[in-house]
Structure formats: C-alpha cells, structure tokens
Amino acid sequence: MVSMPMLLFFLVGLIQASVVRLPSPVTEKNYYHETMVTHLDLTDPNTPDDLNPALNRKMQISLFYPILGSWCSVTCGFPYMPAVASSFTSKQFLGANNTYFDSFEFTACCAAPDHKHDPGKVPLLILDPAVGTSRHVYGILAQRIASGGTAVVTIDHPHDTSVIQFENGDTVQGSVQLNPFVAINPWNATVDNALTARTADIKYVLSQLAVVDVVKKLLPSLNVQHAFKTDSFGIAGHGLGGTVATYFGVSDNRTAVSINIDGTPPLLTQNTTKNFVFFGRDPGARREDDIHWNSTWNHIFGQKTAYNLQKGDVFDFTDLPYLNTKLVDPHSGQMKGLGEIGVNGTTATAAMVAAYMKQQFSNPQDLGLRALTEALQDWPGLLPLGQNS
C-alpha cells in the first residue's frame, strides 16, 4: 500500500515534469479582457529599511493589466511564480522540499501594439496579501479580477512577505513575527509596526503608479499614453492585508472600495461614514469571533456588508483552492490552510472583489450589482449577513 506522503511526493513530481498552462479567464462570463502580467522592483528613497537603516526600503510589485481580447495580438505563457518563492511556498503549504508552484504559468497577453492605452481610464485595485506569504499566491485572483476590467497591483513587503527575489538576484526573507494561519490576537507593537510599514509601502506604490514613466516600465510593450489615476482606487486585502484595507478605508479619502478578507480591523473609537466589506468564515473567523470587529462595526455608519464563508479555512480566499485541484482531489485538504469549499474559494473571491469594483466604477453601476448577484448565486457557500447588520 502506498502511503499518503509518498503518493503526494509522486504526484508533485509528476506535475513538475511539465509546465501546466493555466487557462485565461476570458472564456468565462463577466470576464472580457486578456491580461498583461508584469513585475517591477521599487525603492522608496525616503524610507529606510527596517533591518538595515543604511539602505532604502525596497519592495516588489506585480501588475495585472486588462486588455480587450480583440486588442491583444498574441498570448503566451508567463511564469506563475519564480523558483525561490516556489520553494518557500511549497514548504509552507505542502511541507515538501520542492518547487511545485513554479510548474504553472499564466496565459497572458504578450503584445497589443496597435492601440493607444490610457491606464488613467482603468479602475485600480491594490490587492494586499497575508503576512508571511508571497504575493504570487494571489496571482490567479488578480488575473481574474483584471479580466473583469480592473488593473490589479499586488505587493511583496520586505521582511513581511515569505521571500522576495529582486531583479538583481538578491533575496529578502520574512522576519515579522506574525502567523498567517491565525487571526491577530493580541494586537501589539508588532502589528502596529507592520501596519505602519505596509501603509507607507502602498502610498509609495500609488505615488509611482501616478508617474507615466514608471507605468511605461511596467507596460513596456504597450503604447502607454498616461499614468494611472490614483485619486480614487480600491483596496482588498487578506489577513494582515485586510487590516490594511480597512485602515485605508478609514484614513485615506481616495479609497473608494475597501474589502477586508479574513482580517482583524484597526480598533475604531470614532464614527465613520465610509463604506466597508468584510469576508469572514464560519466556523471560527466570524465577525463576532474577532477581537476588534464588533466594536469597530458599531462605529461604521456608511454602508457595511459582511459575509461568512461556510466550511472554509484561512487560505480558501487565495489561489490555493484552484491549484489544489491540479494536485489531488480538491476536498482532500492536502494544502495547509484549506477547508472544504473547493475551487470556488478562488473563483468566487475573485468574482466578488471584481463585482464590488464594477459597482463602484462602472457606468451604469447596475453592471456591478448584477455581477455581485451572479457571484453570490455561483457561490452558495458564501452567506451575506445583510447590509448594515
């Protein structure tokens, strides 16, 4: 009889024998765009590195940029995750010393040279990951959201993410002492410092996205005419990224959409009329289970909506449920941090975030309302608790 660890090892090795091309979402309903996927190192000249103050703080971002399918002249394979991040991520979620995750690649747009592109007309979303993980495990989410017509930027924060491999080959490993598999409890100086650092990173990234020369570096194969408009944007985050998303919703008036996915919010002591969305899990991570949500919720007097994912776990809101189907049975839970929801954890999280962006930025807004209704119908495991409840 073959043991489960040996079977898992065999399956991982079998898949690694060839690259698996992930299909473009463009064939599905509500997804009309091919996507261009690019990465860029950014160094904030005004912020010293946490561990080496003699150096400036350096981060890495990915951009998932929507391009109408008819504009895209050629699609090609684009690596899902580099080898260094794949090694860390495989060990974190599979407990295996392999590079399973770099055996995948996106189907992405490689060129659309015959059209002028104006990123200033494209809605912008920051998608902030959980602590101690890689931004790359949110790439499928980001591509699906982008295919709905939103430009999505993911960020690896130095010393906070699991590992970053910069363009020059240097690597920075995570050192922030927070556990991505459990909710924040207690809220302490480590959380405060991580929140402050991430907030500064995101504000710097936004400042660079408003510079046309930076956007041209991100989209070198396109005829880019303008930078992104950052006076109104959305932010969705997972875990500590959700904490950051709620913080931006409270503190930055440019935030038009704030979606906290399975994260503890900052503790509000004053009322706000801003709008907020929260995705929790039942059992174990409902709003009432959190150390801050009940109190903070009572200070929100804008539109507030909460959802509970039934029988899900913390990383069901990422790419992992989707990729788990490429490994073994999606309900067998081989990857750490997954529950029983299956592939819908990935597809519906993306659909919900895309729908909220459409609701805010589409004209007419009923396009977003229809997309939100369809996303809920497609994912019966996500139960809305009602607006303002």
Buried b (16+ CB within 10 A) or exposed e, 359-372: bbbbeeeebbeebb
Q: CA-to-CA distance for 100 and 97, rounded, in angstroms?
A: 9
Predicted confidence band of residue 18 (pLDDT cuts 50, 70, 90):
confident
pLDDT band at 19 (very low <50, low <70, confident <90, very high): confident
The Cα 217–Cα 109 span in angstroms is: 16
- Cβ-based neighbours of 24, under 8 Å, separated by 6 or more: 34, 35, 75, 106, 107, 108, 143, 147
Domain boundaries, the chain: 4-387
Kindly report, residue by residue over 321-334, the tens digit of the pLDDT. Answer: 999 888 644 444 47
Nearest partner of 195 among 275, 112, 251, judged by Cα: 251
- With CA atoms as reference, report the closest residue to 346 among 40, 87, 28, 65: 28
Q: What is the rounded CA–CA span in Å between residue 145 and residue 348?
A: 10
At 70 the pLDDT is 81
Average pLDDT value for the chain: 88
Contact 249, 275 (CB under 8 A): yes
How much is the pLDDT for 366?
A: 65
pLDDT at 213: 97
- Checking if the pLDDT of 2 tops 60, the result is no
Mean pLDDT of all residues in 26-35: 84
Identity of the residue numbered 311 = K
The Cα–Cα gap between 38 and 142 comes to: 12
Specify the residue for token string 């000249």.
45
What is the crossing angle of helices 83-94 and 4-16, to 10°?
Answer: 160
The confidence score (pLDDT) of residue 100 equals 85
pLDDT tens digit string along 59-88?
999 999 999 888 888 899 999 999 999 999
The amino acid that residue 234 corresponds to is G
Q: What is the pLDDT of residues 161-219, one digit of tens each?
A: 999 999 999 999 999 999 999 999 999 999 999 999 999 999 999 999 999 999 999 99
The arithmetic mean of pLDDT across residues 355-383, rounded, is 75
pLDDT over 50 at 12, yes or no: no
Cα torsion for 125, 131, 132, 138, to the nearest 10°? -30
Q: Which residue has the higher pLDDT, 352 or 331?
A: 352
Beta-ladder partners of 234: 125, 257
Q: Helix/strand/coil (H, E, C) string of the chain? A: CCCHHHHHHHHHHHHHCCCEECCCHHHCCCCCEEEEEEEEEEEEEEEECCCCCCCEEEEEEEEEEEEECCCCCEEEEEECCCHHHHHHHHHHHHCCCCCHHHHEEEEEEEECCCCEECHHHCCEEEEECCCCCCHHHHHHHHHHHHHCCCEEEEEECCCCCCEEECCCCCEEECCCCCCCCCCCCCCCHHHHHHHHHHHHHHHHHHHHHCCHHHHHHHCCCCEECCCCCCCCEEEEEECHHHHHHHHHHHHCCCEEEEEEECCCCCCCCCCECCCEEEEEEECCECHHHCCCHHHHHCCECCCEEEEEEECCCHHHHCCHHHHHHHHCCCCCCCCCCCCCCCCHHHHHHHHHHHHHHHHHHCCCCHHHHHHHHHHHHHCCCEEEEEECC
- Give the pair of three-digit tokens for residue 197: 């650092």
Predicted pLDDT at 386: 55
Average pLDDT over residues 126-134: 98
**CA gap 186, 141 in Å, rounded:** 29
- Return the pLDDT at 235: 98
Q: Closest Cα to residue 204, out of 81, 43, 363?
A: 43
pLDDT given for residue 92 in this prediction: 94
Phi, psi for 143 (deg, rounded to 5): -65, -40
Q: With a threshold of 0.85, does the pTM exceed it?
A: yes
385 pLDDT more than 60: yes
User: Tell me, what's the pLDDT at 52?
Assistant: 85
Q: Which fold has domain 4-387?
A: Rossmann fold (3.40.50)
For residue 118 the two structure tokens come to 């104006």
